Amino acid sequence: MRDATTAFRPPAPKPRERQLGPVALLRVLKNNPLEAWTAAHFEQPVVVGGLSIGRVAVISDPNTIRHVLVENFGNYQKDWLQRRILSAGLANGLLSAEGAQWKVQRRALAPLFSRKAVFAFSSAMVEAARALVQRLTISDDRIIDLSVEATRTTLDVLERTIFSDGFGRDAEDIRLAMKSYFETIGQIDPLDMLGVPAAIPRPSRWRLRPMFKLFEGAIDTIITHRRGLIARGGAAAPDDILTLLLNARDPETGAALSELEIRSNILTFIAAGQETTANCITWSLFLLSQSSEWRRKVQEEVDEQFSFDADGIAERLVVTRAVIEETNRLYPPLAAISRVALGPDLLAGHPIRRGTMVVIAPYVLHRHKKLWTNPDNFDPARFFGTARAHVGRYAYLPFGAGPRVCIGATFAIQEAIIVVGALVRHFEFELAPGHQVWPMQKLTLRPQGGLPMILKRRRAT
């Protein structure tokens, strides 16, 4: 553990002096793309280069980012690799949809994640946090992988907020099927990398076909049952995301989502909301375990402000929020956002051809030397009080920006504050002896080998 007064520089790969050759680069990109960035990426506004898959422009200039994500939004689409990976059951969900289908869905789904709706989910989040604290209370002095516990908790929150009346009799089977489902769709099949059309079945997915069918079938049964409750009217149907989704209408046309879109969006919310938020919680706990100064500040805050039945709790935990925002700066769960240019453009003086891949990497942007002071140091003060207003909108993008900004951002931050707040209130954490924490990007940015910690109870539940 570190001294309170020394600046803490959390583990991160040292940028390379020079770009790797094509073969070595592909190997590093496959193992841990964080290790491929060069010093130039952290110093220059735009770096244009070639990859075997085509031209790539990495943009870290806030005005140019605004141009790509907002002003000339129509010229940039999610690239084929992302869409292929996300295909599976998510093809008709908000994350993967494009054009008119995306626009209609976004309009219809926005109210599900409004500030007011998310606020109403705080009791489900508090219940999931309470269950986590109770589970860990019996683990005194044992080594616990907190990344596993965080993932379990974020799934618990999604279950409680999407299907608040539960999965029914086969809950454990459904959970197991769901785990395999999301593990598999998160993997890049070699056929995806080679650009083989999506219609050709992937061997990595055949094996799990029966699991997929069980999971998708279970979701369909839940939807049918819920439609029945809604049809009965009144208070028969629970007030959760599923009911909101089934009742969602395009405010302009009054159209409801199709059956396929409903299922795809349930899968999308779980896929997009589970691991990302779990990583945010995990990294926050790691950073707090290493900074006695901020750990003490968060402890003081939660000792005074946290209780399991408090409404509006996330609004009061302002120090905890600053820690979570700083965590998302240093270890953004989605380390890179990418687009493909549909037509030519000019980005900060660089001509961009049709088909160029444009990468906006929050990991690079958030550690860029031109945009941050001591970018590699952990310092939540950047996000605390009046300092927060000085963080540039397009210099800090853990949730993206523009029309495709994360729809679940408020949900995720509220959840992370509640879970981290509950854990800090009840436990002291110490990294397992000998364990080296190292960031690794595999779809999301996570600690390699998890986060083994020794927990000591601070107070009874």
Q: Which residues bind ligand HEM (CB under 6 A)?
A: 78, 94-95, 106, 268-269, 272-273, 276-277, 280, 333-334, 337, 398-400, 404, 406-408, 411-412
Q: In this complex, which beta carbon is closest to ligand HEM, that of residue 416 or of residue 454? A: 416
Q: In this complex, which beta carbon is closest to ligand HEM, that of residue 380 or of residue 398? A: 398
Nearest to 182 by CA among 219, 145, 146: 219
Cβ at position 123, least distance to ligand HEM in Å: 17
Cβ at position 30, least distance to ligand HEM in Å: 21
Cβ at position 231, least distance to ligand HEM in Å: 26
Cβ at position 411, least distance to ligand HEM in Å: 5
Q: In this complex, which beta carbon is closest to ligand HEM, that of residue 75 or of residue 276? A: 276
**Per-position b or e across 36-67, b if 16+ CB within 10 A of its CB:** bbbeebbebbbbbeeeeeeeebbbbbbebbbb
Cβ at position 400, least distance to ligand HEM in Å: 3
Q: In this complex, which beta carbon is closest to ligand HEM, that of residue 337 or of residue 454? A: 337
Cβ at position 97, least distance to ligand HEM in Å: 7
Q: In this complex, which beta carbon is closest to ligand HEM, that of residue 38 or of residue 444? A: 444
Q: In this complex, which beta carbon is closest to ligand HEM, that of residue 81 or of residue 208? A: 81
Cβ at position 391, least distance to ligand HEM in Å: 16
Cα separation of 221 and 225, whole Å?
6
Enumerate residues 6+ apart whose C-beta is below 8 A from 228.
Answer: none
The residue nearest ligand HEM at its CB is 408
Q: In this complex, which beta carbon is closest to ligand HEM, that of residue 109 or of residue 422? A: 109
